[in-house]
Chain A
Amino acid sequence: MSGVWFLGARLGRALLMILGVLVLSFLLVRLAPGDPAQLMAGEAGVDDAQYIAKLRSEMGLDQPLPQQLLHYLGQVAHLDLGYSYRNQAPVWDLLSERLPATLSLMGSAFVISSLFGVALGALAALSRQRRRWLDGLISNGALLLYGTPPFWLAMLLIVLFSVKLDWLPAFGMQTVAADLSGFAWLGDRLRHLVLPCLSLSFLFLALYVHLTRAATLEALQQEHVYTARAKGLAPSRIVFAHVLRNALLPVVTFAGLQLGQLASGALLIEVVYSWPGIGRLMYDALSQRDYSVLLGGFLLISVLVVGFNLLTDLACRLIDPRIGAEGAAR
């Protein structure tokens, strides 16, 4: 009962959130100067005013703004993201074509940054007593990663690993026209993924290290850790069941919140590594004033982030029985 209720309430909130994002991004995007019809006509080498007017009315740009907004919301409600006149394709087709690239980049970066970040952060906190140097090494290393501009790092990595050392490819997500299959195909994809994924991971890795370390240090101070020790539990059991489990809560919450930022970071990385992802699609759409694609991209990312938030909320609820329970008191 309470679980269903919790889920329902969360879903409702998530929908509200997505609606908000839609309206906000719609208004923002439409405020931008630049006329897509004019731009498209120019690109097509046509500069007669009639054709531009025709394009504008095809795109619905001649309608008043509120009406465009309502129309768009209605469309989205029917799961129709609209049509990109610039690309002559339904927006959803464009997005879904790019989705795997973005998901693999963000997914791998998320997994790497969170796994290693949490592990290193916890290790740093646990080493604080006995091996201070290790804590120092990890914390300061993380700090360095945090301060390094990702795009700059990406540039340096390409020069080092792909141009100088020739270990890894410099662009794209696959070797085109190589006709690979099976493991060779997978290996090729992975080799292409390494640099973009690392470049994107580092910043978040640093954040995870920082957060996990702080949370673990705090968890170590908890009274119940003394209880656990007084019970004669083995150190490993104490660390995993009583320290890390509790330290994980803020980390999981953070993971939910930072996904949007991961998407932001992906934009920069996708550009530098020519990764055919949604961030780049949106960036191109912005310069082409391809509103429907831009909005679709916003919507898709918001759905991803909100959905992921929902997951982390559920994860928090799994970890912490107090959340969502009736009469929860700390």
Chain B
Amino acid sequence: MRDSSVWQRFIGQPAALIGALFLLLLGLLAVTAPWLCQGSPWEMNTTPMLAPFTQAGHWLGSDMLGRDLATGLLYGARVSLSVGVLATLATLLTGLLVGALAGYFGGWLDAVLMRVAEFFQIIPQLVLAVILVAVLEPSLGTIVLAIALVAWPAVARLVRSEFLSLRQREFVQAARVLGQAPLAIVFRQILPNALAPLLVTLSFVMATAILTEAALAFLGLGDPDAMSWGYMINASRGMLRDAWWMSLMPGLAILFCVLAVNRVGEGLRIAFEPARRPGDST
């Protein structure tokens, strides 16, 4: 019943709905890319530098090696989305763990963890990510690691503050009085209520992750085995004038993807919000 109402509030927002549908479609295309496109995105299967809409089978044209751009875009969606999702998950897990430890136990542990979080917030994140990826060699794993490593403090702080405030809430105290075990309290009482702000933050993390992956690829630090949008922009930089479409399309893809993630996050926040402030009867 509540589910349906959150759901209804979510689909009641056109922007969020469009964003969600876009992401869903993108996800679907990304997952089915191997079946949709012939061959890998690296395969040089047509005339190089084909303009869009000039050859059937390569509707979006090709790059300087004759690689199909449409295939590249779809596989780029795979990279962007998987980096986005994995980095967000890694961020969530780290942030959750650190934030929960700090918020639940408090004291010196809290102080130490929050100082560490501050270090990571102060260091310029992209610079740190660049060095990390350079140190560990570019691969999807290291990119995800680098992004998560610089993004977790925001989540940790949020989780911590939610923990601190929720811990004082009466229903959490009630659960304690009823004898519910601490871990059950965390997972059944506290976390579900921290969900809404968490989701919004995570949507920001995901959008940032997608942009950071693109920036790393732009700096030449992308996974060399992964055809990503940032890579496509970087690879086609010299061709910006001769073949504008080669960098325009991946650029727009990043833009739309980030917008969609952001809209979905915002939509979720609004959908969850009324339940967070119950009873507006006064």
Residues of A in contact with B (beta carbons under 8 Å apart): 16-17, 20-21, 24-25, 28-29, 31-33, 143-144, 146-152, 155-156, 159, 163, 257, 260-261, 263-265, 267-268, 271, 279, 282-283, 286, 294, 298, 301-302, 305-306, 309
Contact = CB atoms under 8 A, between A and B. Distances in A.
Given A159-B240, A265-B126, A20 B215 contact: no
Contact of B122 (A17, A28, A143): A17
B145 to A, nearest CB: 13
B200 to A, nearest CB: 10
Dominant SS among interface residues on chain B? helix
Interface string B108-150: 0000000110110111111110111011000000000000000
A257 B151 CA distance: 13
The 10 A-B residue pairs with the shortest CB-CB distance, nearest first, are A264-B126, A147-B258, A263-B124, A264-B124, A32-B135, A152-B251, A147-B255, A20-B119, A147-B259, A260-B124
A330 B276 CA distance: 20
B249 to A, nearest CB: 11
Contacts of A16: 115
Contact of A28 (B132, B214, B251, B262): B132
B262 A17 contact: no
Given A143-B262, A159-B240, A268 B218 contact: yes
Contacts of B121: 257, 260
> Of B122, B126, B255, B256, which is in contact with the most chain A CB atoms at under 10 Å from its CB?
B122
Given A32-B135, A33-B135, A301 B115 contact: no
Main secondary structure of the interface of A (DSSP, over half): helix
B241 interface: yes
Contacts of A151: 215, 218, 233
B264 interface: no
9 contacts: A21-B119, A149-B211, A151-B215, A151-B233, A163-B241, A268-B219, A282-B127, A298-B127, A301-B124
Among A31, A150, A151, A282, the most chain B Cβ lie within 10 Å of the Cβ of A151
B139 to A, nearest CB: 15
Contacts of B167: none
A20 B207 contact: no
B237 to A, nearest CB: 6
Contacts of A301: 123-124, 127
B254 interface: yes
A302 B122 contact: yes
Contacts of A283: 130, 219
Nearest to B251: A152
Contacts of A309: 122
A171 B172 CA distance: 59
Nearest to B233: A152
A149 B127 contact: no
Contact of B135 (A28, A150, A152): A28
A265 B118 CA distance: 19
Contact of B259 (A143, A155, A159, A260): A143
B131 A286 contact: yes
Contacts of B124: 260-261, 263-264, 267, 279, 301, 305
Contact of B131 (A21, A29, A155, A156): A29
B99 interface: no
B148 to A, nearest CB: 15
B247 interface: yes
A168 B135 CA distance: 38
Interface in B187-228: 207, 211, 214-215, 218-219
Nearest to A16: B115
B230 interface: yes
Nearest to B261: A147
B127 A155 contact: no
Contacts of B218: 149, 151-152, 268
Given A32-B131, A152-B233, A147 B207 contact: yes
A148 B118 CA distance: 27
A264 B127 CA distance: 6
A298 B135 CA distance: 16
B221 to A, nearest CB: 11
Contact of B214 (A149, A261, A298, A306): A149
Contacts of A17: 115, 118-119, 122
Nearest to A20: B119
A24 B123 contact: yes
Contacts of B131: 28-29, 32, 286, 294
Nearest to B259: A147
Nearest to A261: B125
A268 B215 contact: yes
A147 B262 contact: yes
Nearest to B116: A20
A118 B254 CA distance: 26
A47 to B, nearest CB: 24
Given A24-B123, A31-B135, A283-B130, 14 more contacts: A17-B122, A21-B122, A32-B135, A33-B135, A143-B262, A147-B207, A149-B251, A151-B215, A155-B247, A260-B124, A261-B124, A261-B125, A263-B127, A279-B127
